[in-house]
Amino acid sequence: MPRKVLLGPADLVDGELRGVEIEKRMVMLAREGGKTFALDNWCNHAGCLLSGGRIENKLVICPCHEVGFELGSGRVATKPVLCEDQERFEVEEREGQLWIELPE
């Protein structure tokens, strides 16, 4: 069931990362190329917050170990021996608000 985020697409600018808490789940939102992406905010390698990183070539780069995850899939794209893919969530823009599909 989608959960509403108290942000709209206009609240994020291209290249921005932002961490939000949705029902006790830490989610990283990223805006790139006019589209919003959502990944689990805790890096599965070292537990760092991905929202403290940066976007580079359609990857979110972890601020602790420079591991890059694809924004669209969560797939680890650099240093695959260090960690696994990052959990990704569907984002829908509806009536000026962002809705995130989180697992039950």
Q: What does CATH list as the number for 2-95? A: 2.102.10.10
Residue 96 confidence (pLDDT): 83
The domain segmentation of the chain, as residue ranges, is: 2-95
Answer yes or no: is pLDDT of 59 > 70.
yes
Quick check: 27 and 20 in contact, CB under 8 A? yes
CA distances from 98 to 49, 63, 91 (A): 21, 25, 7
Mean pLDDT of the chain: 89
SS3 assignment, position 63: coil
Report the pLDDT averaged over residues 4-28: 87
Output 55 or 5, whichever has higher pLDDT. 55
Residue 1 confidence (pLDDT): 66
Q: If pLDDT is split at 50, 70 and 90, which confidence band does 5 have? A: confident
Contacts of residues 93-97 at CB distance under 8 Å and 24 or more positions apart, as own/partner, are 93/8, 93/9, 93/36, 96/8, 96/9, 96/10, 97/4, 97/5, 97/6, 97/7, 97/8
